[in-house]
A and B are shown apart, each in its own frame.
Chain A
Amino acid sequence: MTAITSYLAPQTLEEATSLVAAEKTILFAGGTDLLPRWTKGLTSRPEAVADLKRIAALKGVSRVNGEIRVGACTSLSDIATDATIRAAVPVLAEAAGRVACPQVRNRATIGGNLCNASPAADTAVPLILLDAVLECASSGPDGIAARQMPITDFFRGPGSTTLTHGEILTHIRFEPPPDGTFAAWDKFGTRRAMEISIASVGVALRLDAGKIVHARVGYGSVAPTPLRGHKAEAVLLDDPLSPQVIDACVAAARDEIEPITDVRAGAAFRREMIGALLRRMLERARSDR
């Protein structure tokens, strides 16, 4: 076990990017994923940590040109209670508000939730529904090199993202869904609080003249990464939200996920839960029309 020898608290993004260019420094946000992992000895402690929480630019929710932009270091409790988010994207507020408990939400950041790249990261699915764009920064020849990517390009596998070493996720950006969009998200666990999702699912739909003109489906905890449900979406698009379409969509969803069996649940059960939760959402969408 190594021990951390230095704790760094950069005040600006420039400082942070140049610090983490160093081989042995890792980024530290809320620490709610990192600290338990160190304690359990799942990963050894790094030599140095760069705490991002003192960088004001990485915090808070703003509206820019009609888009909503969330700083990567915004805590999940701030997201859950933010007026803009609650009004425009209640599914994201709900997902953030159902992570763990107040203590953890006060520390955990949305950036950490994504960069930790757990298949069970609860904020990932709502962001998939929103076609969120992730903005990243790294130390470049003229200061900061910026890059952005759609969220679906971000996850590579459990615990792994397409960020390169030294790259910092700075913001998450998305357009609030237009009026008339139905959106829902739910997670399944065996307790009513303090649950890592056994399965989670979200859906966003828009109908025009009785036909589905926009559909997004996302899944959590049922594949190596949070997953967009392309097949389920394809079933929905251009069709009415009929019982037959709902059946077909549920079947497609069950088919396109790749759950595993672990200590929390079996693969078959996870499939069942995705089906059951998705069906309920679609039926609610149907009755909400």
Chain B
Amino acid sequence: MPEVIDKAKLAFTVNGEQVRTEVAPHATLLEVLRDNFELTGTKYGCGEGECGACSVLLDGKLVNSCLVLALECAGSQVLTIEGLRINGQLHRIQQAFVEHGAIQCGFCTPGMIMATYALLQANPAPTEAEIRRGLEGNLCRCTGYRKIIDAVLSLAHGGAREPDLANREQRTPGQTLIGQRIPKLDAPDKATGLTRYIEDINLPRMLHGKILFANRPHARIVNIDTSAAEAMPGVRAVITATDIELVPFGYGQDNTALKRDKVMCVRDEVAAVAAETPEIAAEAVRCIRVTYEDLPVVTSPEEALADGAPVIHAKVPDNTPFHYDYSHGDVEQGIRESDVIVEDTYRLQRQAHCCLGTSGIIAHFDADGRLTLHSLTQVPFLYKHDLARIIGLPPEKIRVIQPTIGGGFGSKLDIHPFEPICVFLARKAGRPVRLVFSREEEFLATPTRQPMIIHLRSGAKKDGTFTFRDVRMTLDNGGRTSWGATTPWISMRTFSSLYRVPHVRQHVDVIYTNNIYACAFRGYGNPQATFALESQVDQLATELGMDPLKLRLKNSQDPGETTPQGMVLSTCGLKECLETAAHDAGWQEKRNRQPAVNRQPLIGNRQSAVARGLGMASLFHVGGGAKIYRSDGCGTIIKLDDFGGITVLTGSSEIGQGSETVIAQIVAQELGLPLANVRVINNDTELTPWDVGVHASRTTFIAGNSALRAAREARRKLLDTAATRLKRDPEELDLVDGNVVERSSAKPLESIGKIIRGLHFGRTKNELIMTTSFYEPPSVTPNEQHMGNISPCYAFGTHVAEVEVDLETGVVKVLRISAAHDVGRVINRLGIEGQVEGGIAQGMGYCLTEDLKVADGRVLNPSFTDYKLCTTTDMPELSLSFVETHDPAGPHGAKGVGESPMIPVAAAIANAVYNATGVRMTELPLTPERVLAKLKASRGANGEPANG
């Protein structure tokens, strides 16, 4: 029974206003600000002091409000993000964050801004190093911190900002929007704490859901006793698998919302509760008694394949639910033709998405039985379709509204069991239910990147020409199958088509274990493949005695080629990327000045305790979606109002990546209207046209093309109408800055609003300007042999990393990353830089610190304390270049780049470590412990004494 707690009175000052309220003695300041005052700009990211999302000022000092008891604040002054804006004006810090592109999903933003506020109060002109220290307690998963630091630096220098086009209304008349630095349209709301994320949305009479997870990796469920939970006051619904129809779902059709007979990993959902408060729901879940009979646990693919291994899913007796085979050419011939062959095994860990906003959903039925979901899905239309089956409701009765999300990166591509569970709770309770994960639940019960073991063998001729690649991959699938099991589709494209190689063979086994499972994550199998392949390219260069840059250039494709897997490289900037990144990094000078002696630490000579090195890696990825369904299309509706306002309804969701702004730019550009006139609606399936979803770097290309076509149609209608009204030829007219102008003289003739009003009130025919478009890319669904042009264009890129390795501690410090990306064409420079910087930060984490450790099926580090994201202090200097290859099919020539920047980072760093030390790292992450062990082993081999 939860005790009845007497609430205590609390009087304090919030944002200058004296307030009184009643609070439970254990309530934190964070809870009270959010629940009692609806100051939801202060965010929950972890509840443990690890992320800074809840930062506020308490009596002038920066604190984590999740680590303050509300009652401590009696008589104190609290300042939250909502208190910074005065008279509706953005505070200069908020303004700087907006203008510098320091905001992506925005979830970390209020905390970052409060930390900046405190920093600048104590030190009005901080150096970059001081800024990094000042913000070291604030995690951001999206931006890579660069733009945040830039924003603060701009303030440190007296508030003067770069005179770029950051201020979107400062354009000179008629100047193109394409390629400019455009702040995200939703940034001001995010900077001020006004944006409502899932946990900020309260529906009337809403209940709170909580799930009971199995917390044991493999067991038979003998009995579930929910009586105590049901008897608790405030509990409104308790469900177990016996209360619902168990419809299998997931890519392997091996998952159900709740589990009835058996649990197959610790995160398996066993029961759920909806109650009046989150505390009661949590307490009720604790009171559910489940009797299990433990079964032997399969902790690794090796164990799963051993003779007599326990069978996890009865319908898959060999524990191997999926195989993938791909080949082109004849590997045996390739082997015969090789002068050098290298072979190695690469081991890749679990990486957690770590969206700063945790997962959640709100389910709500109306009296007609229609279901409204506030869902974070990134594939709303497919989601409706799949969910309908699971919950037994026709899809047309489901409306999906997507609130702003606190980060996606692939995590919201699958239907997760908590989503139907919330629907079942809402149905049973007859009231709206919100279910939001704690940080610990987020680590335990949301899938990760696939752990993989990749065995790769490859060869080359003396002159460097690549001959063959032979790949065997093993995926630890965990206990259930999500879309993650299909990542080999993308891995294989890197093996087949990153550089020219005539003979390739790949065999993949996806293996059930009792570990937690994995799903889609930025790069979709490609970071793993690229780590293996680009490490091995470096190994080949060493064997051949060739410069790794020259070796890569020699094997790079040219535009117009079709790869043996059938991918048509309409444009290909790989060579330019290699050359640009190498030049930027000073490749020639620095590689030449890396003498071999650098690799031999001289014991006792402190100068040689660190070794520097330079390494590179490239990437190949789809650049405009991946046609895995029969359609990879997207719809757009454009509606012009009578004063020149534009509403763009797009099927494509915004997940913090900035697609909304890119679409608005494309449309505003076409219609000659200011960007401020454009409203993009992208988050409600009742309003928006159909789309496949946000994934595979497809949004700019596909949604952009769709928007461009709808906008062109609207433009044509406007010009035709204007021509008739003005008795001119449409060819003589143009649309610029809200007016119809004479093309030759740029002389304004009439405002666009007036033209539209003329149509509405037309004498002969009354008409609207409303256009639609459905864009289907010219890609094809691959055949059974995985051959085919899966994407309408392909992205390339090269990163060069410069590192310093401490030979006595194994610490790898990344000093600089030079990144060059073939992006087709830059549409929003600010946005694309942010994508690349953020991708690099995720790649660095993948390479150096991030590892969700699982032992005996249990997660060992489900918190930000021990699952380590890069902080501001860990980020190196970044130098970005964009290679513009103007893809003929892309909107204004653009390709997608959402995933690319994450992909080559780990390989580039590992290659740099090799260059510095002569030690080849084949397992991620490169923890000091792992690096030191290898360094010692290699020294031991040289007969040198171990140091220490």
By a beta-carbon cutoff of 8 Å, the part of chain A in contact with chain B is: 1-7, 9, 28, 30-32, 35-36, 38-40, 45, 49, 51, 53, 77, 100-104, 106-107, 188, 190-194, 196, 243, 250, 254, 263-266, 269, 271-273, 275-277, 279-280, 283
User: Complex: how many Å from CA A182 to CA B91?
Assistant: 47
List A contacts of B69 (CB < 8 A). Answer: 7, 28, 31, 35, 49, 51
Q: Are A192 and B48 in contact (CB under 8 A)?
A: no
A50: min CB distance to chain B, Å? 12
B939: min CB distance to chain A, Å? 13
Q: Are A192 and B873 in contact (CB under 8 A)?
A: yes
Given known A35-B67, A103-B137, A194-B137, contact A3–B118 (CB-CB < 8 A): no
Among A35, A190, A263, which residue has its beta carbon within 8 angstroms of that of B928? A190
User: Complex: how many Å from CA A51 to CA B72?
Assistant: 8
B917: min CB distance to chain A, Å? 16
Given known A263-B860, A263-B866, contact A193–B133 (CB-CB < 8 A): yes
List B contacts of A104 (CB < 8 A). Answer: 49, 64, 67, 137
User: Complex: how many Å from CA A107 to CA B874?
Assistant: 24
List A contacts of B72 (CB < 8 A). Answer: 7, 9, 31, 51, 53
Q: A49-B25, A191-B849, A191-B874 are in contact. List 16 more A-B contacts (CB 8 A).
A: A3-B25, A36-B48, A38-B26, A51-B69, A101-B52, A101-B138, A102-B136, A104-B137, A107-B63, A192-B871, A194-B864, A194-B868, A263-B866, A269-B929, A272-B809, A280-B808
User: Complex: how many Å from CA A193 to CA B848?
Assistant: 14
Q: Are A31 and B133 in contact (CB under 8 A)?
A: no
26 intermolecular pairs with C-beta atoms under 8 Å apart: A1-B283, A1-B286, A2-B3, A3-B2, A3-B26, A5-B3, A5-B5, A7-B8, A7-B25, A36-B49, A36-B67, A39-B48, A51-B72, A101-B52, A102-B134, A103-B64, A107-B64, A188-B809, A191-B874, A192-B874, A194-B868, A250-B948, A266-B929, A269-B928, A272-B932, A277-B809
Binary contact track B551-564/A, C-beta < 8 Å → 1, others 0: 00000000000000
List A contacts of B5 (CB < 8 A). Answer: 3, 5
Binary contact track B105-141/A, C-beta < 8 Å → 1, others 0: 0000000000100110000000000000110111000
Binary contact track B699-743/A, C-beta < 8 Å → 1, others 0: 000000000000000000000000000000000000000000000
Query: Which of the listed residues B68, B863, B864 has the most CB atoms from chain A within 10 Å of its own CB?
Result: B68
Task: Give residues 585-609 of B contacting A (CB, 8 Å).
Answer: 604, 606
Among A102, A192, A243, which residue has its beta carbon within 8 angstroms of that of B604? A243
User: Complex: how many Å from CA A158 to CA B718?
Assistant: 75
Q: Are A194 and B871 in contact (CB under 8 A)?
A: yes
Report the interface size for chain B: residues with CB under 8 A from the other chain: 64
Given known A101-B52, A273-B809, contact A5–B6 (CB-CB < 8 A): yes
Chain A CB within 8 A of B55 CB = yes
User: Complex: how many Å from CA A280 to CA B948?
Assistant: 10
Binary contact track B835-860/A, C-beta < 8 Å → 1, others 0: 00000000000001100010000001
Q: Are B52 and A265 in contact (CB under 8 A)?
A: no
User: Complex: how many Å from CA A193 to CA B871?
Assistant: 7
List A contacts of B137 (CB < 8 A). Answer: 100-104, 193-194
Query: Which of the listed residues B26, B71, B118, B119 has the most CB atoms from chain A within 10 Å of its own CB?
Result: B26
Given known A51-B72, A193-B872, A263-B860, contact A103–B133 (CB-CB < 8 A): no
User: Complex: how many Å from CA A132 to CA B74?
Assistant: 35
List A contacts of B8 (CB < 8 A). Answer: 6-7
User: Complex: how many Å from CA A104 to CA B74?
Assistant: 20
Among B55, B283, B865, which residue has its beta carbon within 8 angstroms of that of A103? B55
Q: Are B870 and A191 in contact (CB under 8 A)?
A: yes
User: Complex: how many Å from CA A141 to CA B861?
Assistant: 48
Chain A CB within 8 A of B28 CB = yes
User: Complex: how many Å from CA A263 to CA B854?
Assistant: 10
Q: Are A264 and B866 in contact (CB under 8 A)?
A: yes
A152: min CB distance to chain B, Å? 26
Interface of B is mostly: loop
Kindly report which residue of chain A lies nearest to residue B49, judged by CB atoms.
A104
A283: min CB distance to chain B, Å? 6
User: Complex: how many Å from CA A14 to CA B854?
Assistant: 49
Q: Are A190 and B26 in contact (CB under 8 A)?
A: no
Q: Are B871 and A102 in contact (CB under 8 A)?
A: no
List B contacts of A107 (CB < 8 A). Answer: 63-64, 67-68
Number of inter-chain CB pairs below 8 Å? 155
User: Complex: how many Å from CA A95 to CA B532?
Assistant: 40
B133: min CB distance to chain A, Å? 7
Q: Are A194 and B50 in contact (CB under 8 A)?
A: yes
User: Complex: how many Å from CA A243 to CA B136?
Assistant: 38
Interchain residue pairs A-B with the least CB separation, the first 8: A101-B137, A193-B136, A192-B873, A4-B26, A275-B948, A7-B71, A36-B48, A4-B25
List A contacts of B604 (CB < 8 A). Answer: 243
Q: Are A276 and B808 in contact (CB under 8 A)?
A: yes
Q: Are B115 and A103 in contact (CB under 8 A)?
A: yes
Q: Are A102 and B874 in contact (CB under 8 A)?
A: no
Chain A CB within 8 A of B880 CB = no
Kindly report which residue of chain A lies nearest to residue B61, judged by CB atoms.
A106
A266: min CB distance to chain B, Å? 6
Chain A CB within 8 A of B898 CB = no
Kindly report which residue of chain B lies nearest to residue A75, judged by CB atoms.
B61
List B contacts of A102 (CB < 8 A). Answer: 62, 115, 118-119, 133-134, 136-137
A185: min CB distance to chain B, Å? 16
User: Complex: how many Å from CA A3 to CA B282?
Assistant: 13
A112: min CB distance to chain B, Å? 12
List B contacts of A28 (CB < 8 A). Answer: 69
List A contacts of B61 (CB < 8 A). Answer: 77, 106
Chain A CB within 8 A of B24 CB = yes
List B contacts of A272 (CB < 8 A). Answer: 809, 932, 948
Chain A CB within 8 A of B938 CB = no
User: Complex: how many Å from CA A1 to CA B283?
Assistant: 8
List B contacts of A51 (CB < 8 A). Answer: 69, 72
Binary contact track B1-33/A, C-beta < 8 Å → 1, others 0: 011011010000000000000001110100000
Chain A CB within 8 A of B613 CB = no
User: Complex: how many Å from CA A188 to CA B808?
Assistant: 12
List B contacts of A101 (CB < 8 A). Answer: 52, 136-138
List A contacts of B865 (CB < 8 A). Answer: 196
Given known A40-B48, A193-B133, contact A5–B872 (CB-CB < 8 A): no
User: Complex: how many Å from CA A276 to CA B604?
Assistant: 11
